[in-house]
Structure 1
């Protein structure tokens, strides 16, 4: 006959023994009330029961998987979450803004708060880095408006050493899927069309962060530095 080894789950045995202790304490309490017994002997068992209750609570909490993704129903929900994550960033933020309309097309206070938060974070964290890929339409409609905003943006951010922007020329009438990667913690995706919010999502898994970061770096490598684009296209009028 073969020897069968049984693996004993100590946590399960512990919980069963303490459940019996709980029943014993409950029964003893009833008897103590009926016959006037001293209940001090039950105190160690009461502490043991409290321990098992805490143990079970912790086990239930640990078994609950964190939410790996979030769907934002409105642009305000998306931008408020975006701003919150930006404020918690410690090392780097990668973003893209590849649309046919400039940021002013988002008129809500939540969107405006996000753009202010991004600028403030970059200024307050000189040891970190903020990267942004900006799309400029190759033709009208959209080109003039985007270049006008880009001119103002260039002046605002010039001289901030930890802000890095690159330009891609777009030929499509459809907005790109824009993204933001916050440290190693989250990826946010924004879908828009015709200047209007469609949907927003966040992914909070290491696999998603790594995949989108690799994609972003490839996109970044093919884009033109903002300073080079500004000189090449006379975005900023030369000083006479």
Structure 2
């Protein structure tokens, strides 16, 4: 249990779930956060955020915590699903694999990719981390799509900003590459447009290669979406992955990119 546990309101679904997890943790003799973090394949900060009612854990994280604390999996699956519904999230997806195991990577293309991205933004409770390591800005890629896909993609970019401004300990970290003048100008505009969102951070990373990177978006250290662009028409293909070890490695990779990136300086605007 974190030393600085805050008072929680049992009338709020998220905080009630955190209180129940605290009770389980206490009944188990208060296992160390390091033990919980290792079992849940996440950071100490994530464990603290879950137990303090700041974020809703994935089922995989909940199951690992419950197993570590000796709780009943069936009982807790019902509690988790009920809380998930109460929070207005999408219904939990049951995968045709062993109970409690994450599902296989899900292939996504075009419009479906952006719809899933938009849904994950709406589900997120804690933090979002994304990379945009490409040689052309978003509007270039949207030019290759139909109107409905472009609308969904635009809604995703807009909702990430709105999400960062909602109450609670939220953060958005975005890594952008600027290998050419077009990307430098876009990043400059984007940084100016988002300057009023203090919890929306932008950093720049050098990318000298002549091809786009495999880009990723990580939601609450629980789900990773990978994006690939290929061909002259810049066809978009992606995958949604919630396998805990893959997510953990993706978070670590993002943290390395973040550590070598540089802050994007926005020049003062002249009036």
Normalising by the residue count of structure 1, what TM-score does the alignment of the two structures yield? Answer: 0.64
- Report the equivalent of 1:171: 208
CA contact (8 A) 1:71 1:200 kept: yes
CA contact (8 A) 2:97 2:103 kept: no
For residues 123-134 of structure 1, what are the structure 2 equivalents within 5 Å?
123-125=165-167, 127-134=169-176
Query: Which of 65, 75, 78 is matched with 2:113 structurally?
Result: 78
For residues 13-32 of structure 1, what are the structure 2 equivalents within 5 Å?
none
CA contact (8 A) 2:103 2:243 kept: no
Q: Does 1:190 align with 2:227?
A: yes
For residues 82-101 of structure 1, what are the structure 2 equivalents within 5 Å?
82-101=117-136
- Report the equivalent of 1:221: 259
CA contact (8 A) 2:223 2:242 kept: yes
- Report the equivalent of 2:158: 116
Cα distance in 1 for residues equivalent to 2:212 and 2:168: 31
Query: Which of 189, 199, 209 is matched with 1:152 structurally?
Result: 189
Cα distance in 2 for residues equivalent to 1:70 and 1:144: 35
Cα distance in 1 for residues equivalent to 2:173 and 2:224: 14
Question: Against the structure 1 CA distance between its residues 79 and 226, is the aligned structure 2 distance closer, same or farther, given a 3 Å change threshold?
Answer: same
Cα distance in 1 for residues equivalent to 2:215 and 2:181: 21
CA contact (8 A) 2:191 2:202 kept: no
Cα distance in 1 for residues equivalent to 2:203 and 2:110: 25
Q: Give CA deviations for 1:75-114 in whole Å, capped at 9, x if unaligned.
A: 2111110110011100111100010000112322221121
Question: Against the structure 1 CA distance between its residues 124 and 106, is the aligned structure 2 distance closer, same or farther, given a 3 Å change threshold?
Answer: farther
User: Structure 1: 5+ residue runs without aligned partners?
Assistant: 1-57, 138-142, 231-235
State the number of aligned residues.
Answer: 168
* DSSP-derived class of the 2:178 partner: strand
- CA RMSD, 1 decimal: 2.3
Write 1 or 2 for the structure with the bigger share of strand.
Answer: 1
Normalising by the residue count of structure 2, what TM-score does the alignment of the two structures yield? Answer: 0.57
* DSSP-derived class of the 2:229 partner: strand
Cα distance in 2 for residues equivalent to 1:63 and 1:217: 31
Please identify runs of 4+ aligned residues in structure 1 that moved more than 3 A. Answer: 61-66, 236-240
